Structure 1
Amino acid sequence: MNRPLRFCMITTFYPPYHFGGDAIFVQALANELVFRGHHVEVIHCRDAYRLLARHEPPNGYEDHPNVIVHGLESRFGWLSPMATQQTGRPLFKGKAIEQVLSRGFDVIHYHNISLVGGPQILTIGDAIKLYTPHEFWLTCPTHVLLRRNREPCTQPRCVACTLSYGRPPQWWRYSDLLPSSLRHVDRFLAPSRFSMEMHRAHGLELPLVHLPYFLPNMDSSREVASPPPGLAAGSPYFLFVGRLERLKGLQTVIPVFRNYPKAQLFIAGKGDYEGPLRALAAGADNIHFLGHLRRGELRFLYTGAVGLIVPSMCYEMSPFVVIEAFAHGTPVIVR
């Protein structure tokens, strides 16, 4: 096929309405496809971001001008993603999604669909359908297979575990909704072989193929590598990049650096667990919280770091930050 293809990406989060690496990957993929001459539209849910973040994102969209982004909003606000979480259906956004998909696409590529439409969104539209599972949402209501936010899950107790996270159980998971919806997908693109093994181990017999993440050509990046404002120079530093949540395990790393002043720890990211982490680091002059950084600032930090630290307590699919570090020749230390 010689003509440009029409792609539609469907995901809950998309920059700047996002929290982590899956949204960064979707944005990179969308922009790379447009750069190669294809037509790309993105559907995501602004209400879902506002429900979880409780504020507006810090920046606007930074995409190729030919990437068309549909940031869906409902007059019901946060009730819209909550209704999807509980029913597995795009109750308040279904018509808007159908309207976009009615434009006709060659490929519909699903990513994190948990709050933008649930399983039923897989049945909407007529195209080749691809699904990249960036987390374990297909098998785990909390997405991460971390039992009660404490240890990797080996024996599921889903209702009790979901309640321990402060979330209501998803009773649709005990119906035929998920398996019947998955039958509408042509291929599932696993970012790692481990991801394939884990999904199969949990009983999902899907047409899975291994397709690793990619990074766009850094030489053509529009953002020049530059230091974050106020960066403390000096001794060698290690780097953490990601959401500040308990499951990311940073609380096990900070005490090490409190007792090792010869190196600095730079922490790039924001999250609900930032308060306890800052309290744990209080008084340690070699531990620095940098907040949300731009792409060029992260490139600068990757290049100079002794190593990237990935201390996650949960199973990781294929952390995007690891690929970014390797692209800069930076070693990675993982749990």
Structure 2
Amino acid sequence: MERPLRFAMVTTFYPPYHFGGDASFVRSLCHGLAKRGHRVTVIHDRDAYHMVRGDAEPHPLREPPGVEVHGLRSRLGTLSCLATHQAGRPVVHGSRIAEILDQDFDVIHYHNISLVGGPGVLTYGKALKIYTAHEHWLVCPTHILWKHNRQLCDTRECLKCSLSYRRPPQPWRAGSYLDSCAAHVDAFTTLSESCAARHREFGFSYPMQVIQPFLSAAAEDEGGGELPTPTKPYCLFVGRLEQTKGVQDVIPLFHDDSPAELWIAGAGDYEPALRKLAEGRKTVRFLGYQRFANLRRLYRGARVVVMPSLCYEVFPMVVLEAFREGVPVIARSRGPFPEILASSQGGLLFESEQELRGALDLALHDDAVRERLSNNARNAFEQNWTEAAGLNRYFAFIEQLAQQRGQHALAGVAQEAVTA
């Protein structure tokens, strides 16, 4: 390697201070870069995590050599996040972020910046800048295009919608502030064609290139424990228990005479409602939050993974976790799932309850179909979504972008890294 590249990752959440798959992917990217000999500096906001979870500290995680993490914390706590949310810039931590990003980085990569700095943080630093949309925050104050907390968004009613979520409106969204800050970014990317299309549909004016995610080759295999013993084949749901995840549409299909069980791995605000819906259904089991070691065991034993999301997902990492274990998915035909399953042939789509029943019956009773889907899922993962494949895509994109910006030395190092 000619020289190691220096990356800065700016993200609101970073493990263990996180809630979803986007932060886990950012960590996988950081670790993958470090394994190839590059240096990574992470800036994230611990106040944002504690705003949701309170003062309890999560179980610490170790970072490998080459990864330096700055977890920002203020005595103002939630008020620091509120100031960023309202002003659209890092009011409390701005000077510290600027001090870090003024270092000699080759690439500054922004991820979910909603509470770590808002649009204003895009103006910090002078390196090649990439922004990856892991959600729809650039065009939606609630991030998920789920209007009034009850339906897909088709037309803008942002003020009314924000109030329905009990969130204060963001004045900076009304003018050109976001566009002026975005002009400092060299390239916008996202993880699926669906997400790019939603950004265009809702008026984001900058081009957005798709760079699909990957799954780390060294995901932590820790914290296993006892799991239930299956009495029947089981279908698996993995994720946060929120209304938008659509599990309420799956539970009624499982009853005492069902040939399979539904196992639900996850926790969230909607869990009490789901448990009430499942009362008296012995074939529905709630497993709670599971660490990665247990999740891998759950995937391996599942007949199929069910993904009934009602909102527009971007690219759930659960798909890749299932595919790595050769487990097909049954997904609602919405968001990225049509494109993922069209390219992989690793699962089945549904739109109606009848189609969901049919897909479950096929996956449970037709061994030949299930084996074909399983093989397709595993093969697609090995070809497209391993760490090696994902990092090569990433470096190829940096090479292309650096060439376009006339940064030929950076392009040369990135080109060398593609085949590393």
Cα offset, 1:53, TM superposition: 2.4
Tell me, in whole angstroms, the C-alpha distance in 1 between the residues paired with 2:303 and 2:224: 16
Shifted more, 151-160 versus 49-58: the winner is 49-58
Cα offset, 1:65, TM superposition: 4.1
Matched, 1:70 2:70: yes
| 1:168-179 mapped onto 2 (5 Å cutoff) | 168-179=168-179
What is the letter of the counterpart of residue 318 of structure 1? Answer: F
SS at match of 2:140: coil
- Unpaired segments ≥5 residues, structure 2: 333-420
SS at match of 1:132: strand
Cα offset, 1:256, TM superposition: 1.8
Alpha-carbon deviations, 1:196-248, whole Å to 9, x = none?
A: 2111122222132111011122xx55527x96424333311111111111111
Distance 1:291 1:65, change over 3 A: farther
Distance 1:62 1:235, change over 3 A: farther
Shifted more, 200-209 versus 3-12: the winner is 200-209
What is the letter of the counterpart of residue 93 of structure 1? Answer: H
Matched, 1:250 2:247: yes
Verify the 8 A CA contact 1:84 1:115 in the aligned structure 2: yes
Identify the match of residue 316 of structure 1 among 313, 317, 332.
313
Tell me, in whole angstroms, the C-alpha distance in 2 between the residues paired with 1:89 and 1:153: 26
SS at match of 2:264: strand
Aligned to 1:80: 80
Aligned to 1:231: 228
Shifted more, 274-283 versus 238-247: the winner is 274-283
Shifted more, 40-49 versus 258-267: the winner is 258-267
Matched, 1:12 2:7: no
Cα offset, 1:170, TM superposition: 0.9
Verify the 8 A CA contact 1:245 1:273 in the aligned structure 2: yes
Cα offset, 1:165, TM superposition: 0.8
Aligned to 2:390: none
What is the letter of the counterpart of residue 276 of structure 2? Answer: A
What is the letter of the counterpart of residue 229 of structure 1? Answer: E
Give the paired residue count: 332
Verify the 8 A CA contact 2:220 2:292 in the aligned structure 1: no
Q: Percent identity?
A: 51
Aligned to 1:53: 53
| 1:7-156 mapped onto 2 (5 Å cutoff) | 7-156=7-156
Verify the 8 A CA contact 1:227 1:301 in the aligned structure 2: no
Larger radius of gyration: 2
Aligned to 1:193: 193
Tell me, in whole angstroms, the C-alpha distance in 2 between the residues paired with 1:258 and 1:80: 48
Tell me, in whole angstroms, the C-alpha distance in 2 between the residues paired with 1:229 and 1:55: 29
What is the letter of the counterpart of residue 99 of structure 2? Answer: Q
Matched, 1:288 2:285: yes
Verify the 8 A CA contact 1:41 1:69 in the aligned structure 2: yes
Verify the 8 A CA contact 2:225 2:294 in the aligned structure 1: yes
What is the letter of the counterpart of residue 207 of structure 2? Answer: P
Cα offset, 1:34, TM superposition: 0.6
Alpha-carbon deviations, 1:91-110, whole Å to 9, x = none?
A: 01111211221332111111
Higher helix share: 2
Alpha-carbon deviations, 1:145-172, whole Å to 9, x = none?
A: 1111111111111111111111111111
Tell me, in whole angstroms, the C-alpha distance in 1 between the residues paired with 2:267 and 2:282: 19
Identify the match of residue 272 of structure 1 among 251, 269, 273.
269
Aligned to 2:393: none
Shifted more, 228-237 versus 71-80: the winner is 228-237
Verify the 8 A CA contact 2:233 2:261 in the aligned structure 1: yes
Tell me, in whole angstroms, the C-alpha distance in 1 between the residues paired with 2:178 and 2:253: 43
Tell me, in whole angstroms, the C-alpha distance in 2 between the residues paired with 1:260 and 1:149: 34
Identify the match of residue 303 of structure 1 among 300, 304, 316.
300
Cα offset, 1:257, TM superposition: 2.0
- Unpaired segments ≥5 residues, structure 1: none
Cα offset, 1:78, TM superposition: 0.7
Cα offset, 1:294, TM superposition: 1.8
SS at match of 1:333: strand
TM-score (ref. length: structure 2): 0.75
Verify the 8 A CA contact 1:258 1:281 in the aligned structure 2: no
Cα offset, 1:61, TM superposition: 1.8
Distance 1:275 1:222, change over 3 A: closer
Alpha-carbon deviations, 1:253-296, whole Å to 9, x = none?
A: 22222465432222222222222222222333332222222222
What is the letter of the counterpart of residue 48 of structure 2? Answer: A
Aligned to 2:213: 213
Alpha-carbon deviations, 1:69-108, whole Å to 9, x = none?
A: 1111011011111111111111011112112213321111
Tell me, in whole angstroms, the C-alpha distance in 1 between the residues paired with 2:67 and 2:277: 42
Verify the 8 A CA contact 1:227 1:300 in the aligned structure 2: no
Shifted more, 69-78 versus 193-202: the winner is 193-202
